[in-house]
Amino acid sequence: MTDAPSSPTRRDFLMLTTGAVGAAGAACFAWPFLDSMNPAADVLAQSTVDVDLAAIPEGQAITVVWRGKPVFVRHRTVAEIEEARKTPLSNLIDPESDQARVKEKHEPWLIVVGICTHLGCIPTGNKAMESRGQYGGWACPCHGSLYDTSGRVRRGPAPLNLAVPPYIFLTDTVIRIGAEEKAHG
């Protein structure tokens, strides 16, 4: 392109500014469309589920749905708690103590998101009939990951422990899953 004889620098400045303003505008215009694919307001607000623990006998577990995901609520036996607590952290793939994964004074209650941290399958072991694997927790049917009685991964390929969702004890026998997260749930 041949430049006009008068002040090429001012001209360049105008062109560059305009180009930048145009590009910024196009980027801003794209954002609402991309953001529209994020969870909508009502989905975000589906935050809490109340679970009555009184009906779960020791040694058994139930599955509740929270935000479309299965959450395992397990009433652990004394032996199972013992087992989880005496495992040295150095034996773990994702070291985390059992104390950090349950609420104080509510040690029998293990609440974890029931989704294998490998590729998202649902591990077996929550129902009485199902295999819990050699560590007594859960066993993923897809690629063989094993979890212990604290929901910690003990054999891969899963890289992380089963996630602990936010929850609070409303009373000694009722928990609210998701309660800490959103102010107006």
Partner 1 sequence: MAKPGKLVEWIDSRLPVFTFLNKELRNYPTPKNLNYFWNFGSLAGITLVIMIVSGIFLAMHYDPNADKAFDSVEYIMRNVNYGWFMRYLHANGASVFFIIVYIHMFRGLYYGSYKAPRELLWILGVVILLLMMATAFMGYVLPWGQMSYWGATVITNLFSVFPFGDDIVQWLWGGFSVDSPTLNRFFVLHYLFPFLIVGVVGLHLIALHQHGSNNPLGIEATKADKIPFHPYYTAKDFFGLGILGLVWSYFIFFDPNFFGEPDNYIPANPLVTPAHIVPEWYFLPFYAILRSIPNKLFGVIAMFGAVGILFFLPWLDRSPVRSARFRPIFKWVFWTFIIDCFILGIVGAHTPDHIYVKLGGLSNQLLGQLTTAYYFAFFFALVPLLGRFEKPRALPTSFCILLALSGPLYATEASTPPSENWSFQGSTGTFDRTDLQHGFQVFQNVCSTCHSLHQLRFRDLAGLGYSPEEIKAIAADHKIPTLNDEGEPTERLALPTDSIPGPYKNEKAARAANNGAFPPDLSLITKARMGGADYVYALLTGYEQTPPREVQLSLGMSYNPIFPGGQIAMLPPLSEGLVTYDDGSKPSVENMAKDVVTFLAWAAEPEMEARKRMGIRVLIYFLVFTALMYFVMKVVWARVR
Cβ 38 to partner 1 shortest distance, Å: 5
- State the Cα angle at 21 between 16 and 26, rounded to 5°: 125
The tokens for 115 are 């989704």
- Any catalytic annotation for residue 143? yes
In eight-state DSSP terms, residue 99 is: G
How distant, in Å, are the alpha carbons of 38, 89, 150 from that of 142?
28, 26, 20
Torsion over CA of 124, 126, 132 and 138, rounded to 10 degrees?
Answer: 70
Pick the catalytic residue from 106, 118, 143, 184. Answer: 143
Interacting span for partner 1 (CB under 8 A) from 10-18, 101-109, 123-131, 147-155:
10-18
Please tell me whether residue 4 binds partner 1 under the rule CB under 8 A.
yes
Residues 66-95 that bind partner 1 (CB under 8 A): none
- The piece of 9-17, 88-96, 153-161, 166-174 that touches partner 1 (CB under 8 A) is 9-17
Question: 61 near 129, Cβ under 8 Å?
Answer: no
Residue that has been written with the tokens 């070291």 in this structure: 95
For residue 165, which of 155, 175, 154, 173 has the smallest C-alpha distance?
175
Q: Which of residues 18-57 bind partner 1 (CB under 8 A)?
A: 18, 21-22, 25, 28, 31-33, 35-38, 40-43, 45-48
Site size toward partner 1, by CB under 8 A: 29
Which of residues 27, 54, 129, 183 is near partner 1 by CB under 8 A?
183
| Interface with partner 1, residue 100, by CB under 8 A | no
Nearer to partner 1, 12 or 82 (CB): 12
Which of 36/171 has CB closer to partner 1? 36
